[in-house]
Amino acid sequence: MKGLLIKNANELVTCSGRKAKFGKEMSQLHVIEDGAVVIEDGIIKAVGKTADILAKYHEGDYQVVDAKGKAVLPGFVDSHTHLIFGGYRAEEFSWRLKGANYMEIMERGGGILSSVRMTKEASKEELVKTGLKRLDSMLTFGVTTVEGKSGYGLDLETELKQLEAMDEVNKKHPIDVVKTFLGAHAVPVEYKGKEDEFIDYMINEVLPIVAEGNLAEFCDIFCEKKVFSVEQSRRLLTRAKEMGFKLKLHADEIVQLGGAELAAELGAVSADHLLQASDEGLKAMAERGVIATLLPGTAFSLKENFARGREMIDNGSAVALATDLNPGSCFTESIPLIIALATLYMKMTTEEAITAFTINGAAALDMADTIGSIDEGKRGDIVILEFPSYHFIPYHIGVSTVEKVIKNGKLVYD
């Protein structure tokens, strides 16, 4: 067998492109009717109409998947998750229903800090076991690449344990895991009021080890009122950039602090959340090519106002969507739920939402040249829906329409 051949796709949604799509470009999905794809050695070799492909490639040489009556899309890229953590915080969800506030829970030593305690207690094996289960679930939603953040350690030992657990799940699971170091995710109890010292500790004692060991590709920070200021974020991220990390920020989520402006200033790959981002900050991001990663599941779960997705796209931003899967503010791995929220509450079109979870998700991981679309030379990461059209994705609210997943040319979910 030379590889895998998908034929007769009712809609072959290629999302064709090798870089982020900004503004109006986001509505171009480049759909081929009655499409086919050939994958060899894990890489897409040919894309086109079924008749043209079958005239050139002999079906007998390939494992053939007949996608008659089905839509075929690139694998989804979930570019912002916190998938490795110990314990759960279900009680916090119930407290919030009774009026408690996310940031106040954290200030009282709960929230992220409570996940930090539980992650410290968990063994690496436990983190790997629960991580693999979460990846299994993500695969059922058609995710083929996921970003994972540390940040439930806030000390050298536990941050490394989380990053190592990510390495292990990456090796064991078909989904690719891209690692982000988020050592500055919250202020640990022992550093309360001494945030600058904590940033020094991260810069001098943790970042160098993560950099030398090549343990993460990105560095991220929670830039937020009562967490880390713009100045502290600038200091950490500037050092991280000098050490070779690509940058991400949790920016302007609860308060308008200037995180979007900082992301543009530093040339971050993405700034994420952006519920409160200023017009100037968003404009600066678009000009500098910084991806605006929106996480509507978090706004939904915390009952916040949604980010201004429609406006951002109309003003020329490149928007990516992600789940933000984490044990506190948004415990979901449901891609279709996020797409439903993006379309219904952020007024994005279905086409824009699909772009945001494929080629723009890939761009948010600086991988738009290798994944995120069905183009020759890209990785053979593909999903086949049980329905004939991509319009079923938001319509079947929150429920997976994915029937098959192909990763690096291999059928890994059926």
Task: Using CB under 6 A, pick the residue from 326, 332, 358, 400 that binds ligand NIG.
Answer: 326
The reply, when asked if residue 35 is annotated as ligand binding, is no
Cα pseudo-dihedral 253, 255, 258, 264, rounded to 10: 10
d(CA 281, CA 249): 13
Cα pseudo-dihedral 327, 332, 333, 335, rounded to 10: -150
Nearest in space to 75 (alpha carbons), one of 173, 217, 174, 8: 174
Listed ranges 13-21, 283-291, 320-328, 356-364: which one lies at the site for Fe ion (CB under 5 A): 320-328
- Of 162 and 326, the one with the shorter C-beta distance to ligand NIG is 326
d(CA 298, CA 92): 14
Q: What is the token pair recorded at 223?
A: 């830039």
Say how many residues touch ligand NIG, by CB under 6 A. Answer: 13
d(CA 70, CA 132): 29
φ, ψ (nearest 5 deg) of residue 243: -85, 0
Listed ranges 50-58, 136-144, 259-267, 320-328: which one lies at the site for ligand NIG (CB under 6 A): 320-328
**Is 219 within 8 Å of 233 (Cβ atoms)?**
no
Distance of CA 184 to the CA centre of its chain: 19
Listed ranges 23-31, 39-47, 168-176, 323-331: which one lies at the site for ligand NIG (CB under 6 A): 323-331
Shortest Å distance, C-beta 90 to ligand NIG: 13
d(CA 379, CA 48): 16
The reply, when asked if residue 159 is annotated as ligand binding, is no
User: What does the per-residue mask of binding to ligand NIG show for 102-121, with x meaning CB under 6 A?
Assistant: ---------xx--x------
d(CA 133, CA 130): 5
276 binds ligand NIG (CB under 6 A): no
The reply, when asked if residue 315 is annotated as ligand binding, is no
- Closest-by-Cβ residue to ligand NIG is 328
HSE toward the beta carbon, residue 380, CA cutoff 13 A: 23
224 binds Fe ion (CB under 5 A): no
Task: Using CB under 6 A, pick the residue from 265, 324, 333, 352 that binds ligand NIG.
Answer: 324
Shortest Å distance, C-beta 12 to ligand NIG: 34
Q: Which of helix, strand or coil describes residue 95? A: helix
- Of 299 and 402, the one with the shorter C-beta distance to ligand NIG is 299
Shortest Å distance, C-beta 224 to ligand NIG: 7
Shortest Å distance, C-beta 1 to ligand NIG: 43
Shortest Å distance, C-beta 264 to Fe ion: 20
> Nearest-5° angle of CA 48, CA 54, CA 58?
130
Footprint of ligand NIG on 40-99 (CB under 6 A) = 82
324 binds Fe ion (CB under 5 A): yes
The reply, when asked if residue 80 is annotated as ligand binding, is yes
HSE toward the beta carbon, residue 220, CA cutoff 13 A: 34
**Binding-site annotation, residues for N-formimidoyl-L-glutamate:** 152, 326, 328
Which residues contact ligand NIG by CB under 6 A?
82, 111-112, 115, 222, 250, 253, 298, 324, 326-329
- Residues annotated within the binding site are 80, 82, 89, 152, 185, 250, 253, 324, 326, 328-329
Which parts of this chain interact with Fe ion (CB under 5 A)? 324
